[in-house]
Amino acid sequence: MKPLTNEQVINPILNCNSKIDILRVLTKADDPLTGRRIAMLGGISGRSCQLSLQALTEAGVLVRKVVGRAHTYTLDRGHHLVKEVVIPLFETEDALVA
């Protein structure tokens, strides 16, 4: 089996603005958020947010839970890409704009 390339590892989670906005919002969130709340906080359309949440969940970086009729999302902080790429990326971004 061929080793994964950088594109195959990073692109599925950082290949569009809505995914980046979602990851930024969830990196800063202390509690699970609904898709609607994530869309509002990230300034993302509902449909774009929904599609990106699905893709990020399938990539394994988000955890989705059903709460009543809503779905809530959190970062999977144990996932290696979240620990090694996502969280450091947005910590660095915060430091640069502070």
pLDDT of residue 12: 81
Is residue 50 included in any domain, yes or no? yes
In this predicted structure, the answer to whether residue 13 has a pLDDT above a threshold of 90 is no
Between β-strands 70-75 and 33-34, what pairing exists: parallel, antiparallel or unpaired?
Answer: antiparallel
Is residue 43 included in any domain, yes or no? yes
Is residue 1 included in any domain, yes or no? no
In this predicted structure, the answer to whether residue 20 has a pLDDT above a threshold of 80 is yes
Q: How many domains does the chain have?
A: 1
Is residue 12 included in any domain, yes or no? yes
In this predicted structure, the answer to whether residue 6 has a pLDDT above a threshold of 60 is no
In this predicted structure, the answer to whether residue 4 has a pLDDT above a threshold of 70 is no
pLDDT in tens, 37-72: 999 999 999 999 999 999 999 999 999 999 999 999
CATH number, domain of 28, equals: 1.10.10.10
pLDDT of residue 11: 80
Please, which residues have CB within 8 angstroms of residue 60's CB and are 6 or more apart in sequence? 76, 79
Is residue 22 included in any domain, yes or no? yes
What pTM does this model have?
Answer: 0.89
Reference 85, options 19, 36, 30, 31; nearest CA is 19
In this predicted structure, the answer to whether residue 19 has a pLDDT above a threshold of 60 is yes
Is residue 13 included in any domain, yes or no? yes
Helix/strand/coil (H, E, C) string of the chain? CCCCCHHHHHHHHHCCHHHHHHHHHHHHCCCCEEHHHHHHHHCCCHHHHHHHHHHHHHCCCEEEEEECCEEEEEECCCCHHHHHHHHHHHHHHHHHHC
Domain that holds residue 75: 6-97
